[in-house]
Chain A
């Protein structure tokens, strides 16, 4: 083979490899399609019960491999987290127990990341307040490789951050400490804004979420998620839905909850919320309840998050592929 042809062929092969890699990524994500992957623990049968940590870990692993398209867990986490050294996990602890993030789930995730991504030096589990974390069963700690702390003790970034309708002090963890964020919402309805899953979970990042419930949180929720620090750093939404709630939220109402036994994940935060919205409406209809829209609390902020001004993801269910792992 003459040198010129060799070089040409070499470059072509390299270029093809790159294109294949990009295509693989696009296939995994789908050009114009977002993916929401879910796994179910069919043995989970009691509303409000904490999940088994081992089971939770296995479900997360399966979901990660499917979502990333990677062969193993190390590769999966490398793909998701890139070069991040400090990863923030944002659970939802408002309702204390019942339909709150469980320490079993969150710590299982934290350990999995540390075991499978040597770049990551520290995990920070953060929420609005120390007391919220404690009431949900977490232990406050700011030593070691897994921290757990509320914004009330850790503090907020010093400057007021303004984005559209939102003007807030934002968690130091979000602004200054973490390189990547993983959103860990739970699955429940909300008495004012309609739905409290991923997008709404970042209300815990700001000092004044009480100001952002007008008009069913629209456009506040979308504007908040458009904050550059959240938008750029949020790499994954992983929804803990072992217990799910379709009415009466945000506090825990066992009479309106069911043992869904699910974990859902997506790299598109809007797509995940959109799928959860559909699921909650189905459950409400099955229970004889009116839709969120008829109840005056349509979570239109999800649609706003997908609009041309926000472009945070896809809300159209026709452009979302739901993958249910067996």
Chain B
């Protein structure tokens, strides 16, 4: 299937409609200035402790939070012994993006995802490219109050095939994401999450019931890196990947290669071996290029040679679908059939130029290509 002029115009019009007509700002979605908070909603996944303390059970940090205080994520607050989320409906970023930007390469290629985020995150990665919304509290950013049915309606009007919960860390706006997914599924809209995978098992399994795809940013294969660079932990993320695999939700993995910090051959070798053994050879693995950001402006961009080294290691470990990200025009942006080696999805950057997949199979040799193609 080639990318026609008609497809181009449709996509362009949708994007223009969103940007110019300000689709997000219409409807009941009221603008919230910095300083305003949306009405708090009782959070899910928490328990009471003594003396009006609570323990959050959403992510592995398991914050113990006193009255008047917030958890690490900055968006969930204890008020007199009950735990609330301050971001239910508080959208601080909303765009229509190509699915390839997430990146999802085996999920409805060439379609748009209506992408939303609230403020907050349960990690603090020193290289975060969205730190200006992930590392702040919700009252510190302008946002729109959009309830789940409005999100679904907006996605429908922009002709997006999916809603993507992304940019910041969707785990921390769990309740909102879940309800948006339920509202949009009833309209035939898919739902994908772009996440650090740092979530406890119970909420993750529940979420898998309403999501169609999850892309996990696996930051490193070393606990030390997770602790020192990301304020997180490795094991819970690996556990999440196995749970997602077990729940049979489509999954892709991104590994951002940061020079000198997580780019050793040994580490990448171990990572690829683990993916092949525990998740299988068909899980797409994206190695993406780091650019200096946030608190890591002292490091250079990742050399393309490092990415290509990782690519070779992954292929040698038997992984079938390995891509390079943030290197527009590189051959490894396209999908090849592992059987006949023909290109089945040709890409440049976020644009799909050609697609040769019929009913989930390579159009050249009939080999099944895993993914969500329609």
- Chain A contacts to B: CB under 8 angstroms: 94-96, 152-153, 160, 162, 167, 191-192, 207-208, 210-211, 213-214, 248-251, 253
Contact = CB atoms under 8 A, between A and B. Distances in A.
B231 interface: yes
Interface in B38-54: 51-53
Given A153-B35, A162-B295, A192-B64, A214 B52 contact: no
Contact of A152 (B53, B74, B140, B231): B140
Contact of B74 (A160, A192, A211): A211
Contact of A207 (B66, B69, B140): B140
A95 B72 contact: no
Interface residues of B, number: 25
Contacts of A192: 64, 66
A211 B231 contact: yes
Nearest to B67: A251
A129 B72 CA distance: 19
B347 interface: no
Interface of B: 34-35, 51-53, 64, 66-74, 124, 126, 135-137, 139-140, 231, 294-295
Nearest to B295: A167
A226 B135 CA distance: 21
Contact of A208 (B67, B74, B294, B295): B74
Contacts, number: 55
A210 B72 contact: yes
Nearest to A191: B66
Contact of A213 (B52, B68, B72, B137): B72
Give 6 nearest A-B pairs by CB, closest first.
A251-B67, A210-B74, A167-B295, A191-B66, A251-B68, A210-B70
A211 B135 CA distance: 8
Contacts of A208: 74, 135-137
B298 to A, nearest CB: 10
Contacts of B70: 210
27 contacts: A95-B68, A96-B68, A152-B34, A152-B139, A160-B294, A160-B295, A162-B295, A167-B126, A167-B135, A167-B294, A191-B53, A191-B66, A191-B69, A192-B64, A208-B74, A208-B135, A208-B136, A210-B70, A210-B72, A210-B137, A211-B135, A214-B231, A248-B51, A250-B66, A250-B69, A251-B66, A253-B51
A7 to B, nearest CB: 55
